[in-house]
Amino acid sequence: MKKLFLLSLLFLVPVVAKTQGYFPLTYRHLEWKQFESAHATILYHEPLSAKARQMAAVYDSVYLAICKLYGYYPSRQTVILRDTDDYSNGAAYFYDDKIEIWATSLDFPFRGNHRWLEDVISHELTHIVQIQASMKWSKKFPAWYLQIFGYENVRRPDILYGYPNQLVSVPILNIMVPAWLAEGTAQFNVPGMYYDFWDSHRDMILRARTIDSTLLTWSGMMSFNKTSLDGETVYNQGFHLTSWLATRYGSGAMKKLNEELESMTAWSIGSAMEKAYGKPGEELYAEWVSDLRRHYERQIQPIKDEIDHGQPVVGDGFSNWADDLDPETGLWLIRSNRGTDYLSTVSALVTDQAGVVQEEIPAVKANSRMRWVTHKGNRGILFTMISPPDRFQSKWSDLYWYDAGKKEVIRLTTGARLFSPVYDGNGVVYAIRNAHAKKSIIRVELPDLLTGECLSNDSLITLIENADDYDFHTLDYNQQNGLLTGDITRLHGREVYVLNPVNRTMTFVNRPGGDDREPRWLDQDRLLLTSDQTGIFNLYEHTLSTGNRVQRTQVMGGVFQGLPLNDSTWAASLFTGTGYKVHRFRPGYPKAVPHREFPFSNHPESAVKPVFPAEINLVEGSKPAVSAQKDYRPAIDKAPFAFYPVLRLDSYAQPAGEYSDLFSRSDLKGIGENLSRDTKIGTYFFSADRLDWIQLTGAALVAPGTGKASYTELDRDLYLGLSVSDPFLKNLTPIRWGVDIYNLSRVADDAVTIREGLDSAITDAIYNLSLIDFYGQFQISPVQSVTLKYGLSYYSSKIDGFFWQPVGARIPGSSQYYFKGKSVSLNWQASFIKPTREREINPVGREFSITAAIEQNDLLDDFRVEGGVLLPVYDRYPLKRLTFGYKEYLELPFKSQTLNLWIRGAATWARGDEGFFYNYGGGLTGMRGYPFYSIGGYQFYQAQVAWRFPLVPSIDKYVGFWYFDRLFAGVFSNAGQAWTGDYPGRAGILTDAGWELRLESSAFYLMPIRLFLSGAYGFQPINIQLKDGFRTVDGRDSVRFGREWLYYFGMLFNFDLGLEKR
């Protein structure tokens, strides 16, 4: 029964802007501090004190302007600054009054560059204000759950009720904000606050996707679960559409729409927009797209005849970059995410100049430009990439070497946090270093690569340290003049500089305005760089001595990271409507294109009158009024509680019969009787301190229609979980200690018959289960954990009092424990699933779980009389149990098709043959051709093969607040066997086959809703002999299963329940 309750807990998912796991990484080994600013509580870890104060100044300066725009002033927020990975992001936890900011600034190929803290703070605070202002009811109740549990017809009188075969959980959220609107308003924030604005990068993406007819549809803009390119396009289209609405309907347009979203009558963004603006959302979207097409057609008209995109070389994927040319072999070194869905899933390609791949190196997952290098006679690739996590699960960018001869990767640094390395030809590497929210340029001498020696971080010599919150991005080295060149962000966009590494002087390259980036040396006096000085990113040849600049390309989208091939030919990454592609611009063209002012598309908000400019008062270097800092102390009693009310139809009792029969007979009275008995009401709840060091999770549900006078005798499901991040072994590895307490009660009406001679009486029984699990979870990697657990179990039954006719009196009820157990278990589980947007509906990769347990169990056997008192007699069952599961998801050569292999089993070492301790293997989580309790024994195994394929790869349709994404189908077959004692041989093997449909969807623009419908047929019959004293309704002493179709349905957050893992 504990397993059934764990199923119900799958429905408790914290609803936050960025979903966390139940056991988040808390980095408790760091020195966490906090202080109060005018409008927020600031939380950070050392050595980020100065950056935290700067963050406080930014927050306080933008707070009133953003709040005033929406007429909403949220509760005091906790703003957390962290530097725990080489990663950049922000997250708004709008139900928790919490914002998280990663200190590293964003450097993303789909975005322009802006000052990080001002940009991200105004963005995340706008999320908090706009989303909380649109909530339909209190944020203390993020969602209501409507749930339906259906159960197998178990047909066995020795089992109270069957295993679930229908699981439905539908959340009703209090927010109705689609992704495009949330991100659009967060970028739009307040007119006149230009910490984020419509720059040439954003215009490039929208222009290319508009002209190439690859814009996201109205439905496609509503939610994420997309490729990196399409996910960023949600931001992009949302930003422009939000600004377009503000231009058309005035600066108060967003507040007006928010007020409609807050209404209890608005349950889709389309209807809210119709109430706010007089036209439904889809009609406004169509008008906006028409305006875009007209605008961009006019925009490119002056250069239309000059556009030349050269010759495509590498086009598969949306992130392709020509990093380097090997002068010895003429081979190109290309970073590409071909065949994948995300920017992070890149690999190195070695191609000829026609783009034919000579070698693919999946182990080289470079996060910046790679270089061909010959060092001490060794030929290879110098690059940086994110290293495997350290013992605290932090991921840092390190320097690596790929030995082209040995075909192996050698790690050169540990936790050095390096990017964009260049080699001087004499054993010295220059690179950009990111440390504690400051970037610097360093030099280091390479070791003898043959020894595998790892560089000490103390050997990194700083040339230029960022003292003004500037960002370095790329580097290039000139072996002829010994100079470095690169680009830097000081406010908005980038600037190109030249650095003398000897005297450490930096000179900025004059620019006519705009964004200059990614310079590479052509010779001692000329640079090939990318600039948006006309509004479109093109390649330019810039002469340092004269300052002259010649435009060398004319493209429609944008062209980046030029790679000189010879004096008149370049390779570069061309942005198109489907992403970045490597193109070669053929010899003799493009010719020098005379500079022409381009009618750059300014942000539409420029037509909107700025509001509240006096509220935006950030002064460079200003110090906010703050309280004294103090050590952070978790306080669960002061943490916000979130409650998730639940209305559940838990149909295991069905006193009037099965619903299918009642509906077929239109038996309204019977349906009403069932609904009254089967309905449960209650709530889930969740709370945690600001850093998730302490988490409290719980559930309480009762069935008022049970028919008992006392609450203690009602059907109930109770759970309380407390987990704590380890404060003592924090310098070892992330460890979480916890306790889970379960209590379940079930009333079985008329379940007990008392007979003596010809006299008999019937009464109810109440079964009560209490379990306590103490555990420690050790996170040994982001995808692997080990859990040590000690469990206590107490099962009791209570027989209601009854009137006994022979004595003419009421016999009082009695209660006894019928089972008491203790166990110690150790579980190891891992999940190596490839990151794809289909990873839930059709995963690729593997996962496994193995658990070893020792149990000491006492099971009620008889009663004895001692001193006139009836006492229970227990039979002791010590046992050892081993369970395992392994799933392999193999990618087939056909698009989005997989072959799935699943093996699981259990072995129990115990005396006798007691069904109470069987391992069961049928039903929803096993062999679906047989009911759960029909396959059981001390030993069990199951092997499954399944083929999964898309039926409708992209539905892309919204119905109200429900989005339908994709539909997959699958067929499967199982073989399995359960036994106790000697192995019965192959004759006892059971087989089944079945089908499954999977529908990926989401509701309320936020919550994943995953539906499955499955049917299976068991080919062999199973005849189960009942224990003495048990008979079926028709008087038989055995039950037969198999050779029938069984069906399953689910509407959950996950397709695979995976209960064997824990």
Q: What are 39-61's pLDDT values in tens digits?
A: 999 999 999 999 999 999 999 99
Confidence grade of residue 747 (pLDDT, cut at 50, 70, 90): confident
In DSSP terms, 486 is beta-bridged to 475, 497
Amino acid type, 266: A
Claim to verify: residue 267 and residue 354 sit in the same structural domain: no
Any domain includes 281: yes
Per-residue pLDDT at 961 exceeds 70: yes
Claim to verify: residue 383 and residue 423 sit in the same structural domain: yes
Point out the domain boundary residue: 405, 423, 458.
Answer: 458
Of the two residues 599 and 254, the one the predictor is more confident about is 254
Per-residue pLDDT at 902 exceeds 90: yes
Confidence grade of residue 463 (pLDDT, cut at 50, 70, 90): very high
Tens-place pLDDT, residues 82-107: 999 999 999 999 999 999 999 999 89
Strands 98-102 and 77-82: parallel
Confidence grade of residue 614 (pLDDT, cut at 50, 70, 90): very low
We report the CATH number of the domain holding residue 67 as: 1.10.390.10
Specify the pLDDT at position 160: 83
Specify the pLDDT at position 605: 37
Peptide bond into 590 cis (omega under 30): yes
Tokens representing 237 are 């289209």
- In terms of phi and psi (left: phi > 0; alpha: psi -120 to 50; beta: otherwise), the region of 396 is beta
Which position has the token pair 């830097």? 488
Mean of the pLDDT values across residues 184-205? 89
Q: Are 420 and 433 in contact (CB under 8 A)?
A: no
Q: Are 596 and 301 in contact (CB under 8 A)?
A: no
Tens-place pLDDT, residues 132-186: 999 999 999 999 999 999 999 887 877 888 899 999 999 999 999 999 999 999 9
Confidence grade of residue 3 (pLDDT, cut at 50, 70, 90): very low
Specify the pLDDT at position 1035: 74
Specify the pLDDT at position 18: 30
Which position has the token pair 């406080």? 56
Specify the pLDDT at position 491: 84
Any domain includes 821: no
Confidence grade of residue 620 (pLDDT, cut at 50, 70, 90): very low
Specify the pLDDT at position 625: 61
Any domain includes 749: no
Of the two residues 757 and 60, the one the predictor is more confident about is 60
Claim to verify: residue 64 and residue 127 sit in the same structural domain: yes
Per-residue pLDDT at 915 exceeds 70: yes
Mean of the pLDDT values across residues 594-611? 42
For the chain, what is the domain count? 4
SS3 content of the chain, % helix, strand, coil (to 5): 20, 45, 40
Claim to verify: residue 116 and residue 41 sit in the same structural domain: yes
Claim to verify: residue 298 and residue 356 sit in the same structural domain: no
We report the CATH number of the domain holding residue 507 as: 2.120.10.30
Point out the domain boundary residue: 423, 458, 493.
Answer: 458
Claim to verify: residue 493 and residue 554 sit in the same structural domain: yes
Any domain includes 335: yes
Per-residue pLDDT at 117 exceeds 70: yes
Of 544-548, 967-971, 993-997, the range with the lowest mean pLDDT is: 544-548
Helix and strand counts by DSSP (H, E) for the chain: 11, 55
The DSSP element (H or E) to which 887 belongs, if any, is: strand 869-891
Claim to verify: residue 214 and residue 274 sit in the same structural domain: yes
Amino acid type, 402: Y
Tens-place pLDDT, residues 285-328: 999 999 999 999 999 999 999 999 999 999 899 999 999 999 88
Any domain includes 1048: no
Q: Which residues contact 302 (CB under 8 A, 6 or more apart)?
A: 596, 598, 599
Per-residue pLDDT at 63 exceeds 90: yes
Rounded distance between C-alpha atoms, residue 779 and residue 403, angstroms = 33
Specify the pLDDT at position 618: 41
Tens-place pLDDT, residues 494-513: 999 999 999 999 999 977 67
Of the two residues 1024 and 334, the one the predictor is more confident about is 334
Q: Are 497 and 529 in contact (CB under 8 A)?
A: no
Point out the domain boundary residue: 458, 482, 506.
Answer: 458
Specify the pLDDT at position 1059: 46
Claim to verify: residue 485 and residue 562 sit in the same structural domain: yes
Of 423, 333, 325, 328, nearest in space to 375 by CA: 423
Claim to verify: residue 435 and residue 486 sit in the same structural domain: no
Confidence grade of residue 700 (pLDDT, cut at 50, 70, 90): very high
Claim to verify: residue 546 and residue 591 sit in the same structural domain: yes
Q: Are 58 and 121 in contact (CB under 8 A)?
A: yes
Of 182, 115, 188, 194, nearest in space to 613 by CA: 194
- CA 572 to chain centroid, in Å, comes to 33
Tokens representing 22 are 């139940």
In DSSP terms, 322 is beta-bridged to 334
Which residue range forms the structural domain that includes residue 339? 325-458
Mean of the pLDDT values across residues 900-927? 93
What pTM value is reported for the model?
Answer: 0.92
Claim to verify: residue 281 and residue 405 sit in the same structural domain: no
Any domain includes 643: no
Of the two residues 456 and 755, the one the predictor is more confident about is 456
Q: Which 8-state DSSP code applies to residue 554?
A: B
Per-residue pLDDT at 770 exceeds 90: yes
Mean of the pLDDT values across residues 987-1004? 95
Confidence grade of residue 727 (pLDDT, cut at 50, 70, 90): confident
Any domain includes 883: no
Any domain includes 986: no
Of the two residues 1032 and 842, the one the predictor is more confident about is 842
Q: Are 926 and 943 in contact (CB under 8 A)?
A: no
The DSSP element (H or E) to which 258 belongs, if any, is: helix 253-262
Claim to verify: residue 448 and residue 339 sit in the same structural domain: yes
Specify the pLDDT at position 9: 47
